[in-house]
């Protein structure tokens, strides 16, 4: 071939051909423009097809091959009935590959259709799954003359296995059984990498109502949405590791310790030498200088590696970036309730019962919303006082006061019943 | 030794009895350490003049390490405030009740926060997905994973 003018390759026909230059190259067979000149032997488009056939789908189990095989060339493809549009007679391309019309011309409701080509010289298989209204045909018209023993097509296959059905119809239930059967069969093939197992991966169709990418019950959909949300939930607190906890500053209370004047913010009790539990005389002081009873703080750190008082992060917390990157006072997106999107400056909530914001808490990045935590901290005397006397160095940390002051709320996202269309809302 | 929650709640209760509740907040019932009821009223100029709501707090034995389950009471007597973060079944979408919970917060602290939330509301409306959520909502709002956006409502 190298001695001749290079051939062209039509990716729609999967065949070599000489294009019609009009003036751009068009496939001589299908008039398509997805054609490629085969000039570089190192990048032969046929190799792709080869690869697909020999590696990608090389493991097509025989039974599937049988089940799905198109009738040999020459047999009227209309025997497939149903989605009559997509299938044409073989076009004389290399290997007699079957091809489909462009998707635009596929009649609506013709179902999901894909083809497998086994490269030049190989055959091809066309699968049509679903589709309206029928894959069937009348029994008398079984194709193939004398000497031809046609492989069963899908409707034959199902009819044989499921007993008599109404002719010419594959109902959803039947299709499901068929697909389940496929799965069962591929499951029996020990060890083999069955492409169909991957294709219909995880297809149980059974109690969990799932089949591949499809779900058949609200419950199953909820589960999937929940999984997705868990996967994408970047706001869940990250617990402190044992290693981090082990390195924390730990003291045993002694007479005249300055700690004795302070409270543990978790149990709100003052540190004391007179405690029933000797563990409560062990005080853990976090790097932000906030002290806690050891039995109070350890369980918390194992659920969230932050200081309960100032949210100093002992381990990187996922919402640091998230909250830090949010525009101050910005509304949370299209899902936001109207009151957040008005664009007018937010009104600060009135301070509760006359107690001001906690000293040391920075002014809010978010305007009105920022007042909430400072309100709380302000309210929680004497905690606020302790906080101020310590003026924790949290401003030097990645999670500064401006972060912690923004209270985040939303109307979004109850896990059970969201719809895919709103997933963009979770990407923040 | 009493559970952590009982000890801490006893402490909170005694502070409430000694110091009283902030203005607009009243303790309705605290007969045990599993469920408390408080009433909530927004003081001053607001979208909720004269409206009194009730908050139900449910505590598990790990309180305050784990957050309480907090919701507005919806029964014959009380209704859920119409607010962009409050569902008609009383569930509240507030980060401090979820992943921004801190054991420093307390029952009164939560009430104050929610009071502020209502006070700063500019437009009385339900969350966009209210109907859908309420239809499928779990009994315990803690089982809902809300998604929180930064906002200043």
What ipTM did this prediction achieve? 0.86
Give yes or no for a contact between B118 and B48, defined as CB atoms under 8 angstroms apart.
Answer: yes
Q: Is the pLDDT of residue A66 over 50?
A: yes
- Chain A touched by B97 (CB under 8 Å): no
More confident residue, A112 or A343: A112
* Whole-number pLDDT of residue A45: 72
| Residue A397: HSE in the Cβ half-sphere, 13 Å Cα cutoff | 22
Mark yes or no for CB contact A352/B132 under 8 Å. no
d(CA A96, CA A123): 7
Mark yes or no for CB contact A418/B23 under 8 Å. no
Residue linked to tokens 């109207």? A338
d(CA A354, CA A45): 77
Å from B124 to nearest chain A CA?
8
Q: Six-digit token pair at A263?
A: 């409270």
* Whole-number pLDDT of residue A97: 39
Q: Is the pLDDT of residue A380 over 50?
A: no
- Provide the CATH number for the domain formed by A242-304 in this structure: 3.30.40.10
pLDDT in tens, B84-123: 999 999 999 998 998 889 999 999 999 999 999 999 999 9
d(CA A339, CA B127): 11
More confident residue, A307 or A172: A307
Residues 6+ apart with CB under 8 A from A43: none
Q: Is the pLDDT of residue A399 over 80?
A: no
Give yes or no for a contact between B39 and B53, defined as CB atoms under 8 angstroms apart.
Answer: yes
A75: confidence class by pLDDT, cuts 50, 70, 90: very low
Cα dihedral across residues B76, B77, B78, B82: positive or negative:
positive
pLDDT in tens, A335-354: 333 333 333 333 333 433 33
Specify if B141 maps to a domain.
Answer: no
d(CA A55, CA A49): 10
Host H or E run for residue B135: helix B130-136
CA B10, B15, B18: angle at the middle one, nearest 5?
125
**Which whole number is the average pLDDT over A263-285?**
87
Mark yes or no for CB contact B123/A338 under 8 Å. yes
d(CA A173, CA A130): 11
Name the domain count of chain B: 1
Mark yes or no for CB contact A353/B112 under 8 Å. yes
Q: Is the pLDDT of residue A108 over 70?
A: no
**Which whole number is the average pLDDT over A217-239?**
69
Cα dihedral across residues A399, A405, A407, A408: positive or negative:
negative
More confident residue, A220 or A230: A220
A220: confidence class by pLDDT, cuts 50, 70, 90: confident
- Nearest-by-Cβ selection for B1 from A276, A330, A373: A276
Q: Quote the percentage of chain A above a pLDDT of 90.
A: 7
Least confident of A24-33, A81-90, A100-109, A387-396: A387-396
* Whole-number pLDDT of residue A218: 74
DSSP secondary structure letters along A155-213: HHHHHHHH----TT---HHHHHHHHHHHHHHHHHS-S---HHHHHTTT---STT-EETT
Instruction: Look up B93 and say whether it is catalytic.
Output: yes
* Whole-number pLDDT of residue A60: 53
Q: Is the pLDDT of residue A87 over 50?
A: no
Cα distances (Å, whole numbers) of residue A323 to A265, A336, A363, A365, A428 = 24, 16, 15, 10, 9
Q: Which of B81, B43, B109, B5 is nearest to A299 (CA)?
A: B5
DSSP secondary structure letters along B48-91: -TT-EEEEEEE--TTTTTSPPEEEE--SSS-----BTTB-TTSB
Mark yes or no for CB contact A428/B149 under 8 Å. yes
DSSP symbol at A408: E
String of b and e for A375-399 (b: at least 16 CB within 10 Å)? Answer: bbbbbbeebbebbeebebebeebeb
Ranges of H-type helices in A237-331: 242-246, 294-303, 318-325
Q: Is the pLDDT of residue A269 over 60?
A: yes
Please identify among residues 132-151 of chain B the ones whose CB lies closer than 8 Å to any CB of chain A: 132-133, 135-138, 144-151
- The one catalytic residue among B21, B93, B111, B121: B93
User: For residue B22, what is the domain's CATH number?
Assistant: 3.10.110.10
Q: B12 to chain A: which residues are within 8 Å by CB?
A: 268
| Domains of chain A, residue spans | 7-49, 242-304
* Whole-number pLDDT of residue A152: 54
Q: Is the pLDDT of residue B131 over 50?
A: yes
Its domain, for residue B111, covers 4-136
d(CA A152, CA A264): 77
Specify if B131 maps to a domain.
Answer: yes
pLDDT in tens, A155-210: 555 555 444 444 555 555 666 677 666 666 555 544 444 455 445 444 444 455 55
Q: A349 to chain B: which residues are within 8 Å by CB?
A: 116-117, 119-120
Mark yes or no for CB contact A376/B150 under 8 Å. no
Give yes or no for a contact between B107 and B115, defined as CB atoms under 8 angstroms apart.
Answer: no
Give yes or no for a contact between B42 and B118, defined as CB atoms under 8 angstroms apart.
Answer: yes
Give yes or no for a contact between A228 and A423, defined as CB atoms under 8 angstroms apart.
Answer: yes
Specify if B147 maps to a domain.
Answer: no
Which H, E and C letters describe A103-143, residue by residue?
A: HHHCCCCCCEEEEEECCCCCCEEEEEECCCCCCCCCHHHCC
Q: Is the pLDDT of residue A366 over 60?
A: no
B145: confidence class by pLDDT, cuts 50, 70, 90: confident
* Whole-number pLDDT of residue A118: 53
B78: confidence class by pLDDT, cuts 50, 70, 90: very high
d(CA B67, CA B58): 9
pTM, whole model, 2 decimals? 0.47
- β partners of residue A117: A124
- Chain A touched by B125 (CB under 8 Å): yes
pLDDT in tens, B13-70: 999 999 999 999 999 999 999 999 999 999 989 999 999 999 999 999 999 999 999 9
| Residue B123: HSE in the Cβ half-sphere, 13 Å Cα cutoff | 15
Specify if B143 maps to a domain.
Answer: no
Q: B119 to chain A: which residues are within 8 Å by CB?
A: 349-350
Q: A367 to chain B: which residues are within 8 Å by CB?
A: 152
Identify which of A158-172, A221-235, A411-425, B69-83 has the greatest average pLDDT. B69-83
Q: Which of B16, B110, B99 is nearest to B59 (CA)?
A: B110
* Whole-number pLDDT of residue A328: 36
Q: What is the mean pLDDT of chain A?
A: 59
Least confident of A166-170, A308-312, A327-331, B11-15: A327-331
Q: How many CB atoms lie within 10 A of CB B55?
A: 24
């Amino acid at each position: 071939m190298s001695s001749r003018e290079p051939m062209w390759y039509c990716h729609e026909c999967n065949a070599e051909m000489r294009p019609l230059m009009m003036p751009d190259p068009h496939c001589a067979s299908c008039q398509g423009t997805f054609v490629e000149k085969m000039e570089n032997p190192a990048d032969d488009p046929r190799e792709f097809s080869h690869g697909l056939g020999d590696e990608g789908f090389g493991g097509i189990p025989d039974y599937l091959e049988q089940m799905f095989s198109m009738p040999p060339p020459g047999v009227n493809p209309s025997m497939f009935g149903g989605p009559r549009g997509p299938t044409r007679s073989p076009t004389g391309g290399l290997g007699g590959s079957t091809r489909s019309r462009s998707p635009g011309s596929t009649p609506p409701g013709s179902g999901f259709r894909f083809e497998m080509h086994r490269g030049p010289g190989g055959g091809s298989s066309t699968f049509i799954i679903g589709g309206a209204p029928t894959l069937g045909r009348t029994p008398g018209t079984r194709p193939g003359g004398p000497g031809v023993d046609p492989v069963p097509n899908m409707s034959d296959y199902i009819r044989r296995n499921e007993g008599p059905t109404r002719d010419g119809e594959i109902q959803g239930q039947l299709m499901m059984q068929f697909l389940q059967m496929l799965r069962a069969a591929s499951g029996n093939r020990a060890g083999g990498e069955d492409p169909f197992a991957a294709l219909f991966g995880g297809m149980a169709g059974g109690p969990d109502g799932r089949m591949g990418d499809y779900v058949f019950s609200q419950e199953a959909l909820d589960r999937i949405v929940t999984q997705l949300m868990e996967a994408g939930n970047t706001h869940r607190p990250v617990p402190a590791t044992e290693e981090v906890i082990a390195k924390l500053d730990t003291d045993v209370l002694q007479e005249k310790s300055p700690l004795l004047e302070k409270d543990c913010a978790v149990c709100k009790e003052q540190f004391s030498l007179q405690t029933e539990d000797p563990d409560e005389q062990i005080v853990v002081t976090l790097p932000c200088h906030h002290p806690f009873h050891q039995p109070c703080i350890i369980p918390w750190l194992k659920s969230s590696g932050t200081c309960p008082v100032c949210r100093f992060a002992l381990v990187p917390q996922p919402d640091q970036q998230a909250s830090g990157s949010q525009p101050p006072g910005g509304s949370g997106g299209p899902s936001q309730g109207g009151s957040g999107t008005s664009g007018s400056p937010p009104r600060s909530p009135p301070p509760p019962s006359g107690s001001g914001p906690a000293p040391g808490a920075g002014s809010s990045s978010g305007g009105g919303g920022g007042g909430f935590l400072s309100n709380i901290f302000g309210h929680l005397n004497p905690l606020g006082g302790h906080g101020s006397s310590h003026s924790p160095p949290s401003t030097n940390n990645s999670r500064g006061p401006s972060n912690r002051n923004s209270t985040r709320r939303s109307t979004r996202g109850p896990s059970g019943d969201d719809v895919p269309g709103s997933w963009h809302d979770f990407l923040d | 030794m009493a559970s952590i929650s009982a000890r801490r709640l006893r402490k909170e209760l005694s502070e409430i009895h000694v110091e009283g509740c902030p203005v607009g907040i009243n303790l309705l019932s605290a007969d045990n350490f599993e469920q408390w009821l408080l009433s909530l009223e927004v003081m001053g100029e607001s979208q909720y003049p004269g409206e009194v709501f009730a908050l139900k707090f449910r505590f598990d034995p790990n309180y305050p390490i784990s957050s309480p389950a907090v919701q507005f009471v919806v029964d014959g007597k009380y209704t859920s405030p119409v607010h962009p973060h409050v569902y008609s079944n009383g569930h509240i979408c507030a980060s401090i009740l979820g992943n921004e919970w801190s054991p420093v917060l307390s029952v009164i602290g939560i009430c104050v926060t929610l009071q502020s939330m209502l006070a700063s509301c500019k437009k009385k409306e339900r969350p966009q997905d209210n109907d859908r959520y309420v239809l499928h909502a779990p009994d315990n709002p803690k089982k809902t994973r809300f998604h929180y956006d930064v906002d200043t409502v």
